[in-house]
């Protein structure tokens, strides 16, 4: 009999499944189901206008018993006033936490679970509310990274105050805490909030990345250079920075390229207007939100990948760009510098430098030199082999850690 047979897990989450962006939300419960677990998943979906799920269809992962409900106060959270939206979003979040806990309590009364799995802020706080009703069940808390260390480093008191619920969630000790290594230094945040002597069992892992075929570098005397970025079009992803690098490239007279912006979000219209106002429509196109597989195909067919996020750039798109062996142009914030070294395996710049000008200049010099391109891509292949997991490795490591809690 398999070690996983007859085992049961209950997930509590306010993050619904996606097919056009982060895949780990879906892949995690799917993996447990494939390995023989009975998987119940209670999830609150946020259908706010312009939100992350406005361009995502509802999906139910195979083998996962999904109990879905919806974030409340939709009308008030869709208002144009930013502060009213923030207040009602926070109130809705608290309501979701209690609803997750209530629905989780009913499930616990009905079923004999081995593991209760709190996924991100609302799910973690819901598991905390359920603790008095748990007996032998083990509790896993899971975070997809956190910007809390950035707030602490910059002494952003108001931002920290507004995120008191997240700080409390991070402080909660569980039988196992899984923190994604996404470059936001979540491991450091946990140490600061919990204290080094009260960390508990923590796993700090990057997400898995599927194997992506490496394409040959094209003959640029015949073909245009293809540049892509893949992200939601929201403020902190800073796609405007990528557009400004393109503006500088054109100003320098280097125009044998096309830049494709892949992603949907609330800033799409503003970014389109920006491109038009800068007379860059001949060089930049918007593809909107694509499925994950469609976005990977676009990445595979490109040569250069842009990522210029506000706080850290070690998201899945950058890891996928490493896997696909692309010239990466990014910014040195968070732990991004632990992955990309300037002119060694990519191009990386300090956010407070004149990187628009320098990136445009460096990229033009690089792509016109086969020896420099080959050197960077060879070094990037070493980074890929040394630092990246495929999804089966990542999720197998998690399942092993969870099984060790129960045995």
Together in a domain, 47 and 106: yes
Does some domain include residue 142?
Answer: yes
The Cα 187–Cα 146 span in angstroms is 9
Together in a domain, 198 and 313: no
Together in a domain, 254 and 302: yes
Interval 3-17 mean pLDDT: 91
Together in a domain, 369 and 295: yes
Q: For a pLDDT cut of 90, what percent of the chain falls above it?
A: 88
The domain in which residue 341 lies consists of 225-387
Phi and psi at residue 265, to the nearest 5°: 155, 180
Reported confidence tier of residue 2, pLDDT bands at 50, 70, 90: low
The Cα 247–Cα 276 span in angstroms is 11
Together in a domain, 104 and 191: yes
Does some domain include residue 217?
Answer: no
Does some domain include residue 218?
Answer: no
Q: Does the pLDDT of residue 24 top 90, yes or no?
A: yes
The Cα 180–Cα 18 span in angstroms is 18
Tens-digit pLDDT profile for residues 151-207: 999 999 999 999 999 999 999 999 999 999 999 999 999 999 999 877 889 999 999
Interval 308-323 mean pLDDT: 95
Instruction: Return all residues near 250 (Cβ < 8 A) that are at least 6 apart.
Output: 280, 283
Tens-digit pLDDT profile for residues 103-162: 999 999 999 999 999 999 999 999 999 999 999 999 999 999 999 999 999 999 999 999
Q: How many structural domains comprise the chain?
A: 2
Sort 202 into a burial class: Cβ within 10 Å, 0-12 / 13-18 / 19+: middle
Together in a domain, 196 and 236: no
Q: Does the pLDDT of residue 279 top 60, yes or no?
A: yes
Together in a domain, 188 and 260: no
Sole residue written with tokens 């089966």: 392
Does some domain include residue 216?
Answer: no
Tokens of 332: 């040195």
Q: Does the pLDDT of residue 1 top 50, yes or no?
A: no
Q: What's 268's domain CATH number?
A: 3.40.50.2000
Together in a domain, 22 and 107: yes
The Cα 242–Cα 239 span in angstroms is 5
Give the model's pLDDT for residue 3. 66
pTM over 0.85, yes/no: yes
Tens-digit pLDDT profile for residues 224-248: 999 999 999 999 999 999 999 999 9
Interval 62-75 mean pLDDT: 96
Together in a domain, 199 and 332: no
Q: Quote the mean pLDDT of the chain.
A: 95
Q: How far is CA 362 from CA 62, 85, 160, 216, 249, in A?
A: 46, 42, 38, 21, 10
Together in a domain, 281 and 358: yes
The Cα 53–Cα 74 span in angstroms is 13
Does some domain include residue 288?
Answer: yes
Interval 370-391 mean pLDDT: 96
Tokens of 402: 């969870």
Q: What pairs with residue 116 in β-bridges?
A: 10, 139
Together in a domain, 237 and 196: no
- Which of 93, 180, 138, 200 shows the shortest CA–CA distance to 395? 180
Together in a domain, 143 and 240: no
Reported confidence tier of residue 13, pLDDT bands at 50, 70, 90: very high
Does some domain include residue 300?
Answer: yes
Does some domain include residue 3?
Answer: no
């Amino acid at each position: 009999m398999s070690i996983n047979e007859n085992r049961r897990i209950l997930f509590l989450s306010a993050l619904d499944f996606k097919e056009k962006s982060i895949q780990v939300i879906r892949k995690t419960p799917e993996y447990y189901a494939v390995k023989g677990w009975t998987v119940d998943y209670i999830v609150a979906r946020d259908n706010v206008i312009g939100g992350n799920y406005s361009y995502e269809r509802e999906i139910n992962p195979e083998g996962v018993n999904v109990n879905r409900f919806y974030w409340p106060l939709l009308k008030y959270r869709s208002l144009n006033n930013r502060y009213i939206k923030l207040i009602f979003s926070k109130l809705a979040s608290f309501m979701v936490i209690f609803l997750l806990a209530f629905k989780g309590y009913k499930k616990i009364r009905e079923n004999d679970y081995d593991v209760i799995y709190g996924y991100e802020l609302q799910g973690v706080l819901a598991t905390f509310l359920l603790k008095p009703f748990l007996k032998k069940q083990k509790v896993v808390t899971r975070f997809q990274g956190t910007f809390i260390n950035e707030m602490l480093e910059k002494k952003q008191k108001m931002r920290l105050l507004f995120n008191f619920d997240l700080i409390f969630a991070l402080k909660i000790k569980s039988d196992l805490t899984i923190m994604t290594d996404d470059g936001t230094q979540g491991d450091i945040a946990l140490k600061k909030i919990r204290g080094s002597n009260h960390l508990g069992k923590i796993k700090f892992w990057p997400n898995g990345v599927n194997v992506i075929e490496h394409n040959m570098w094209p003959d640029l005397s015949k073909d245009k250079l293809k540049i892509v970025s893949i992200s939601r079009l929201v403020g902190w992803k800073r796609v405007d920075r990528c557009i400004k690098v393109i503006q500088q490239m054109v100003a320098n007279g280097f125009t044998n390229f096309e830049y494709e912006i892949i992603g949907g979000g609330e800033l799409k219209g503003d970014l389109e207007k920006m491109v038009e106002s800068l007379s860059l429509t001949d060089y930049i196109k918007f593809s909107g939100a694509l499925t994950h597989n469609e976005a990977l195909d676009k990445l595979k067919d490109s040569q250069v990948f842009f990522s210029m996020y506000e706080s850290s750039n070690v998201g899945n798109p950058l890891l996928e760009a490493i896997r696909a062996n692309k010239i990466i142009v990014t910014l040195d914030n968070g732990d991004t510098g632990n992955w990309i070294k300037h002119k060694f395996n990519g191009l990386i710049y300090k956010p407070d430098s004149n990187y628009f000008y320098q990136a445009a200049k460096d990229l033009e010099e690089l792509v016109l030199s086969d020896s420099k391109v080959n050197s960077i891509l060879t070094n990037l292949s070493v980074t890929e082999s040394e630092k990246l997991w495929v999804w089966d490795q990542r999720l197998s490591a998690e399942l092993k850690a969870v099984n060790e809690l129960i045995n």
